[in-house]
Amino acid sequence: MNNIIILGAQWGDEGKGKVVDLLSDRFDIVTRYQGGHNAGHTVFVGPKKFVLKLIPSGILRGKRAVIGNGVVLDPGALLEEMEALGRAGIDVPGHLAISNRAHILFPFHRLVEKVSEARADRVAIGTTSRGIGPCYEDKIARRGIRVADLLDTENFRALYASLAQDKKTLARAFQIADTIDYEKARAEYEQFAERIRPMVCDTSRLLNEAIKTGQRILFEGAQGTMLDIDHGTYPFVTSSSAAAGGACTGAGVPPTKIHGVIGVSKAYCTRVGGGPFPTEDGGAAGERIRKAGNEFGAVTGRPRRCGWFDVPLLRYTSAVNGFDSLVITKLDVLDDFAEIPVCTGYRVQGRVTDEVPATIGQMEALDPVYEKAPWWKGSTRGATSYDSLPDGAKRYLDYLAAKVGVEIGCISTGPERNETILMPDSRFTKLIG
């Protein structure tokens, strides 16, 4: 089993960074396939904390790291991240490859986003304010500028002039105070181009060549399935294909070369930003989860909305992605809860269903049906074997796996690498080799 996709099964921040870091030891290459520096993947290596935004987490293990064509790249943010990692002794230039087909994110993308988020006639999405959506808009509208275009100076200047003109017109039309110095930004991006040039290549070709020689590739998803542009809670989503299918288009690797898909889910549920969240607990219990789980955004520092494990949601994301196995993270956060509700169905007009509705109105109108799930006394923090878990915690995990209909192959019991349980004889252990 060579090539595996690992991605979020909820609304992001499930602990993908920790899991990818843990597993990347067994792979040759780790690649990102979508998103941009809206992602924040936290990895602890001993006392050192890293928050990876654009660079695949495998970089910390000295693995080849690839930024695929499906990613939107803010070169300033990338260089900053590279410098921070360099200061921590991580050699990024020697290991990173950047797709020549990835789209470039410019300062005016942030401006466009600010405008659209502030409009009185629209509901704000609660984005990360990084300009991610508007950059993907330009990509899909076929006026975007890719890394390869940036490296071709003459061509870049013409494309940039035209795109900048669009944004100036937009700013005028919407009466926005446009403070961007377009010429300065262009010159700055031309300098960025020279700094990233040595790392740029056709990464699809690189990955497919690597596959031919039997190297193992780990695809690291950003965000989560419920933030996927097609399958998430539209319009409260990000603008890319975070689900498993996105790995093929976003890395240029055929579906026939993917051998497994692993979903990462918290033992409960969180969401950051706006949008429906059926199992949100806006009361004291939600606050307790936030405190115990330190649920604050890795990128923006915003408090995350907290709530309970949602079985219909997991069944939905399992179907969309075809999860072979689940990783359940942050089990330890529920250690002190003597009551753990789990949503097992949605009541819609008196009928209970597990169908996730398509519209925000329908999603907000549904009534989650809760069961009292098994709970436990004692600590799971740092546990490294299933057998050492309190009985109730074992029953909780078995209960989740049975309800979702997917095995739990790995359990995370703390933020550090070694605070993990790998389930022997699982599909998970076969997949990771």
Binding interface with ligand GDP (CB under 6 A): 8, 12-18, 40-42, 44, 298, 329-330, 332-333, 412-415
Determine which helix (DSSP H) or strand (DSSP E) holds 305, and give its type and residue range. Answer: strand 305-307
Cβ closest to ligand GDP, residue 49 vs residue 172: 49
Binding to ligand IMO in span 165-224, by CB under 6 A:
222-224
Q: In angstroms, rounded to a whole number, what is the distance separating the alpha carbons of residues 47 and 44?
A: 7
b/e burial code for range 318-331 (CB count within 10 A of at least 16 → b) = bebbebbbbbbbbb
Pick one of Mg ion, ligand GDP, ligand IMO, none as the site partner of residue 281 (Cβ within 5 to 8 A by kind): none
Ranges assigned E (strand) in 100-250: 103-104, 200-201, 217-220
Q: How far is the CB of 239 from Mg ion (least distance, A)?
A: 17
Residue choice 126, 235, 322, 374 for contact with ligand IMO (CB under 6 A): 126
DSSP 375-395: --SS--TT---GGGS-HHHHH
Q: In angstroms, rounded to a whole number, what is the distance separating the alpha carbons of residues 395 and 160?
A: 58
Binding to Mg ion in span 296-355, by CB under 5 A:
298
Through-space distance between the first and last CA atoms of the chain, rounded to whole angstroms: 7
Q: Which residue is nearest to ligand IMO (CB)?
A: 273
134 binds ligand IMO (CB under 6 A): no
Catalytic residue among 37, 41, 103, 231: 41
User: Is 13 a residue of the active site?
Assistant: yes
Binding to ligand IMO in span 254-283, by CB under 6 A:
272-273
Q: How far is the CB of 38 from ligand GDP (least distance, A)?
A: 10
Binding to Mg ion in span 184-223, by CB under 5 A:
none
User: Is 95 a residue of the active site?
Assistant: no
Q: In angstroms, rounded to a whole number, what is the distance separating the alpha carbons of residues 337 and 293?
A: 12
40 binds Mg ion (CB under 5 A): yes
CA torsion through residues 44, 50, 52, 58, sign: negative
74 binds Mg ion (CB under 5 A): no
Q: Which residues contact 362 (CB under 8 A, 6 or more apart)?
A: 348
C-alpha Rg value of the chain to the nearest Å: 22
12 binds ligand IMO (CB under 6 A): yes
Binding to ligand IMO in span 310-369, by CB under 6 A:
none
38 binds ligand IMO (CB under 6 A): yes
Cβ closest to Mg ion, residue 40 vs residue 341: 40
Q: In angstroms, rounded to a whole number, what is the distance separating the alpha carbons of residues 389 and 146?
A: 49
Binding to ligand IMO in span 51-70, by CB under 6 A:
none
Query: How many residues bind ligand IMO, per CB under 6 A?
Result: 24
Q: In angstroms, rounded to a whole number, what is the distance separating the alpha carbons of residues 146 and 349?
A: 48
Q: Which residues contact 209 (CB under 8 A, 6 or more apart)?
A: none
Mark the segment that binds ligand IMO (CB under 6 A) among 37-45, 179-187, 320-328, 419-427: 37-45
**Looking up tokens 């181009």, which residue turns up?**
193
The token pair at 392 is 């109730």
> C-alpha 345: how far from its chain's center?
26
The token pair at 312 is 């219909």
Residue choice 132, 258, 306, 406 for contact with ligand IMO (CB under 6 A): 132
Residues at the site binding Mg ion, with contacts judged by CB under 5 A: 13, 40, 298
Return the active site residues: 13, 41
Residues at the site binding ligand IMO, with contacts judged by CB under 6 A: 8, 11-13, 38-41, 125-128, 130, 132-133, 222-224, 227, 238-239, 272-273, 298
